[in-house]
């Protein structure tokens, strides 16, 4: 899925220990430019988080996956970015989003390879 909008806030980098080792997550808030703007919290996962090339106010196009998981009878939904590029005339260079990032030859973008367990069933 894709969404376009303006970065309005960066949240603190989070990290921790999981069953597969250390993890890091950077979240940011994107506001759409629709007639009725929506705010969406989007996460970028990985060991090499470098969102420093983007700043508040940048217009970006974000490709993402949505995933929900159940824990103790409650459902939690994540919006995980796997590609982010500045819109024409805005923003800086992109950054890798995950451990096994595939860098495009086009400057100002990043794309992470999808993990096998995140495949959608359709």
Q: What is the pLDDT of residue 105?
A: 34
Q: How sure is the predictor about 110, in pLDDT bands with cuts at 50, 70 and 90?
A: very low
Nearest residue to 100 (alpha-carbon basis) of 52, 51, 48 = 48
In this structure, are residues 1 and 63 in contact, taking their beta carbons and an 8 Å threshold? yes
pTM for the whole structure: 0.67
Query: Which tokens belong to 10?
Result: 């960066």
Alpha-carbon distances of 27 from 35, 72, 96, rounded to whole Å? 25, 24, 14
Q: What is the pLDDT of residue 47?
A: 54
| Weakest-pLDDT range from 52-61, 87-96, 103-112 | 103-112
Position of tokens 């367990």?
117
* pLDDT of 113 above 70: no
């Amino acid at each position: 899925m894709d969404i376009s909008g303006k970065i309005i806030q960066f949240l603190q980098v989070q990290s921790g220990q999981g069953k597969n080792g250390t993890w890091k997550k950077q979240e940011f808030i994107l506001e759409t430019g629709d007639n009725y703007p929506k705010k969406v919290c989007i996460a970028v996962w990985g060991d090499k988080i470098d969102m420093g090339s983007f700043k508040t106010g940048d217009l970006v196009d974000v490709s993402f996956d949505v995933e929900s998981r159940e824990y103790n009878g409650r459902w939690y939904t994540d919006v995980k970015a796997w590609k982010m590029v500045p819109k024409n005339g805005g923003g800086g260079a992109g950054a890798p989003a995950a451990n096994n990032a595939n860098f495009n030859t086009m400057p100002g973008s990043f794309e992470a390879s999808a993990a096998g367990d995140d495949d959608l069933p359709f």
